Structure 1
């Protein structure tokens, strides 16, 4: 009986719905806790270049910025490959944990004041303000997760949809700066953490191969 129960649990564990629920809960809880803890510290730095003040605030980019939530959840339902899902969850866990360790070791704060916004865009920023604080900076968790989402969606979206995905993901990447959520330093740090997670979890038969392969072959990740 115990063997049957263990088999059923193992089968359920790597299903999209429980994986999405558990991973989302972990992200929301641990990210919020990290923000709260950093807000009480007195050794929080800035990590900003003077020339960054020339980066414009573009209110409507809050839409692509928040759209990552849809892709985050949708990524658990991309295909029925249980091993690929397990690998995706592991990658998300690596990005989250490495980012949290960085936030604890090198606490940073966003320093620019966001202009006032109104209407629908203002409502979105207000909702974001209730869920986020100006800490948890480098690496950008938004960018780290975006790298993983690209690895998850790119193989299944080709042609027009693939082009649309590239454009929209580019908007999401830029939006972390134009919504005044992150400074420039946070972006390459987020990319590095995302790539690290991909490399650490690459399938064994691809781990030491070149990441860029012929278009006709299966993706290395």
Structure 2
């Protein structure tokens, strides 16, 4: 057996495993939610201004294609193992939340006049329940997919734009509320911290630090919106530190020195002093 065949078999096994776990968790959660007499929903006031865009069903449905593609985009066994564990962690964590705090989508979906675009909407109506909303697995998966796709040299920009469109489509197809996007983002970054890539490799130290900043940013945005919802607009003050932490995370992830040279000189002098 060649290494290529062995690798493909492992990728196919990982894809099959995650698919089976996903289908099991999703269907069990759906069955439980449908058995309840009342299911609440949670929406922010500004969500009423989000437009319904039928064309966005294309990137929304493309998430299934990326679900399959990402396993065959891994470059080595270790990357495949990390991807698989992250996917399983997110699926199982989401399943627990689906059962303990079930939510449903509350907006009525407009009719789609285009017969071709209406087909995937009919498919969603039949096979995709309005339950299992928060966290959005479309969002969690998109972040995890990107952790692999960003290493693809030729297609990374196209894949990045595609995943961004997947994220936007969760709202514009009227499949998810904003709270689902926030919780999906938070769980994805928790998976990066719980299951780090090359934890003991100093070359990836900045990546690990970046995930702490990104997670903090998402939590601050979530907290700000919740404060605004329950108390008042004072919550929006948290958006400033949220943006700041996201920017710092971006700099760490891309190895950009965002501190002034004077600060680096002081830090180097302190390290040298400690060594002496």
TM-score class, shorter-chain normalisation, is: 0.7 to 0.9
- Is 1:156 equivalent to 2:136 in the alignment? no
Query: Residue 181 of structure 1 is aligned with which of 175, 179, 189?
Result: 175
Matches within 5 A, 1:67-146: 67-117=62-112, 118-146=114-142
More deviation, 35-44/93-102 = 35-44
Q: Conserved in 1, the CA contact under 8 Å of 2:18 and 2:84?
A: yes
- Is 1:19 equivalent to 2:14 in the alignment? yes
Unaligned runs of 5+ in 1: 1-10, 217-221
TM superposition shift of 1:113: 0.5
Say how many residue pairs are matched.
204
CA-based RMSD: 2.2
Secondary structure in 2 aligned to 1:210? Answer: helix
**Structure ranking higher in helix proportion:** 2
TM superposition shift of 1:157: 3.5
- Is 1:62 equivalent to 2:72 in the alignment? no
TM-score, L = length of structure 1: 0.85
Which one scores higher on RCO, CA 8 angstroms, separation ≥ 6?
1
TM-score, L = length of structure 2: 0.69
CA distance in 1 between partners of 2:33 and 2:8 (Å): 33
Unaligned runs of 5+ in 2: 1-5, 208-251, 257-276
TM superposition shift of 1:23: 1.3
Partner of 2:210: none
- Is 1:49 equivalent to 2:44 in the alignment? yes
Q: Which protein shows a greater Rg?
A: 2
